[in-house]
Amino acid sequence: MKIEKCTKESFVVIGKEGSTNDGTGFIQKLWEDANSHFNEVAHLAKRDDKGNLLGVWGAMSDFSHSFKPWVNGRQGLYLAGVECYNEAKAPRGWVKWVVPGYEYIYVENKDSNTFSSVIQYLKENNISLAGAVHDFNCPESGKEYMFFPIRSL
């Protein structure tokens, strides 16, 4: 597992919001909903010079929308969406989150052990989570990552 660090200023994600209270498979359902209605937010998405999306995020937060870690790592909110410009307004049926800026440890999400392996790494290195973990899908490479906030900006 290759662990890398980066800093990311506050950013906006517009997506479909759900919670662990919605039951098993709720994240997959959110992504299906977001993907099938993407045309409604495509014009709001940040893009590179070639017109490619800059980021597709599975942003997470505690139930208070404070971006604290999920309760026991198992209960909280999830937003399946796309990174957008700060001034973007969420269309009806979509939700806008302004994710705070953090220093992150991030790793490629290759299997179901990624989360627990990084949590173990953090414990072994006396590093605390500063917020909720986020999923990131890199449109350019097609790779999936997990971002673990370790310091607020």
Rounded to whole angstroms, how far apart are CA atoms 44 and 71?
Answer: 31
How many separate domains does the chain show? 1
Model-level pTM greater than 0.85? yes
Tokens of 107: 């790793």
Q: Cβ contacts of residue 19 below 8 Å, gap of 6+?
A: 26, 63, 75, 76, 77, 78
Determine the structural domain holding residue 73 and report its residue range: 4-152
87-126, pLDDT tens digit by residue?
999 999 999 999 999 999 999 999 889 999 999 999 999 9
Residues 142 and 140: their CA atoms lie apart, in Å, by 6
Q: What tens digit of pLDDT does each residue of 50-92 get?
A: 898 999 999 999 999 999 999 887 899 999 999 999 999 999 9
Q: What is the pLDDT of residues 130-150, one digit of tens each?
A: 999 999 999 888 899 999 999
Task: Tell me the CATH number at 100.
Answer: 3.20.80.10
